[in-house]
Amino acid sequence: FTLRFNGNLIEVDSKGSDYDEFVSKFTDEERMFGYVRVTTGDEMSKRAKFAFITWSGSQVSPIKKAKLSVDKALVKHVIKNFAVEILAEDHNDVSLETVSAALRKAGGANYGTGVSS
């Protein structure tokens, strides 16, 4: 789901299961938060991991960007269960490949049955 600013309030903006739709919510003019579940693992073991994303678009004013750290601390009092925290300013930072790689790295062992080194 995504959380968006509405004046001084932070509200749930969207929720769903389509990752492309999730990423499309992050625009250059917005500062917002995202919380996403990604299934990681290998052929033998699948695990659900969560990522907490703080988005600050390229056109967000410096004052609003500075205030974002205080707001993030408040949001983290509610959203506490996540494997990785990502500070994103570019859509490459929130691509499924980037987020999945960060979650795999945070998860420790990532063995595959067909890989030998």
Q: Give the burial class of 7: count Cβ atoms within 10 A of its Cβ; 0-12 exposed, 13-18 middle, 19 or more buried.
A: exposed
Residue 98 lies in a domain: yes
Domain with residue 62: its CATH number is 3.40.20.10
Q: What is the pTM of this model?
A: 0.86
Checking 66-71 for CB contacts under 8 A at 24+ apart, the result is 68/31, 71/5, 71/10
User: What is the count of structural domains for the chain?
Assistant: 1
Residue 67 lies in a domain: yes
Quick check: 54 and 84 in contact, CB under 8 A? no
At 39-86, the pLDDT tens digits run 887 777 788 999 999 999 999 999 999 999 999 999 999 999 999 999
Residue 86 lies in a domain: yes
* Owning domain of residue 84: 2-104
At 43-52, the pLDDT tens digits run 777 889 999 9
What mean pLDDT is reported for the chain?
90
Residue 116 lies in a domain: no
